[in-house]
Amino acid sequence: MLAFKLFLYFNILLLCYGQDALNKLNEIGTDPTDEHIERPCEIFDKFCIRKFFAQHSKCKPVDGPVPDPLYRDKSTSYVPHVNITFIPNSINIRGLNGRIEEFYINRVTDKLVLAVEFTNLNATSDYVYLRLHRRAQEPIVVRDYGSIQYDSLSMTIIIPNLKNLQLEKSEVFAFVSNFKLVLGPNLAANGDPEVQRAMAEMMANYQITVREIVLNDSPFYVASYIQYNICDFGVYIP
């Protein structure tokens, strides 16, 4: 019924006021923010992108690459759907020399947007601790090795304040596809029924598990890429 009323409404407008009225409606319906998006550099021109960052912040241009592997001392990720904290130590990360897939600024929102795609990114640790949290009790802690392999991982970072870009105040969003989670057998060897249940649920829903983990890891990954490949802000991302 609603679709029919809209169809009838637009036809009445066309009959009474002509095509100009419909053109005006279409203009109103467009996204006004598109008019304020500027692309000061091509996505393949890292020299230009480095120059833009340096001119709009206090960072120092760098030309990479990201060390491969890149060592990370520790990561703490929360996996709330199974009440587990995922804590790998002494992590080796490979594949952080990604490809820029978007770069623009928005004068209205006063923000810079940079998107980077990483392929075959792998994070491996021989010392993965899982803390299973229990109501009114101390957590159960188990340990073994673990790794996550991302065939494709796209990250979008939004950095505020175009006059003085603030990496430490940025927002990061990750889009994940085709990944694999591997955990050592000792993590499920604990005989406690709560551990057995949580591990079974975590692996049965490993896609949710990995997406929750990458929420924590994304700022480190994309900030490492920027500070090794584009411009060093001197910001420590734990």
Same domain, 1 and 88: no
pTM for the complete prediction? 0.81
Write phi, then psi, for 170 (nearest 5 degrees): -80, 165
Q: Tens digits of per-residue pLDDT, 107-121?
A: 999 999 999 999 999
Residue 22, pLDDT score: 37
Domain contains 237: no
**CA-closest candidate to residue 99, choices 51, 144, 43, 49:** 43
Task: Assess whether pLDDT exceeds 50 at residue 32.
Answer: no
Q: Which residue has the higher pLDDT, 1 or 131?
A: 131
Same domain, 88 and 168: yes
Same domain, 16 and 73: no
> Across residues 53-74, what is the average pLDDT?
96
Share of the chain above pLDDT 90, in %: 70
Domain contains 118: yes
Same domain, 69 and 137: yes
Same domain, 23 and 43: no
Same domain, 107 and 86: yes
Same domain, 113 and 44: yes
Domain contains 238: no
Same domain, 123 and 102: yes
Same domain, 129 and 209: yes
144: which strand partners?
Answer: 128
Q: In which domain, by residue range, is 24 found? A: 1-30
Same domain, 62 and 86: yes
Same domain, 24 and 44: no
Domain contains 151: yes
Number of domains in the chain: 2
Domain contains 224: yes
Q: Where are the beta strands (DSSP E) in the chain?
A: 37-38, 60-61, 70-74, 77-79, 84-94, 99-106, 111-134, 137-160, 171-183, 231-232
The CATH number covering residue 227 comes to 3.15.10.30
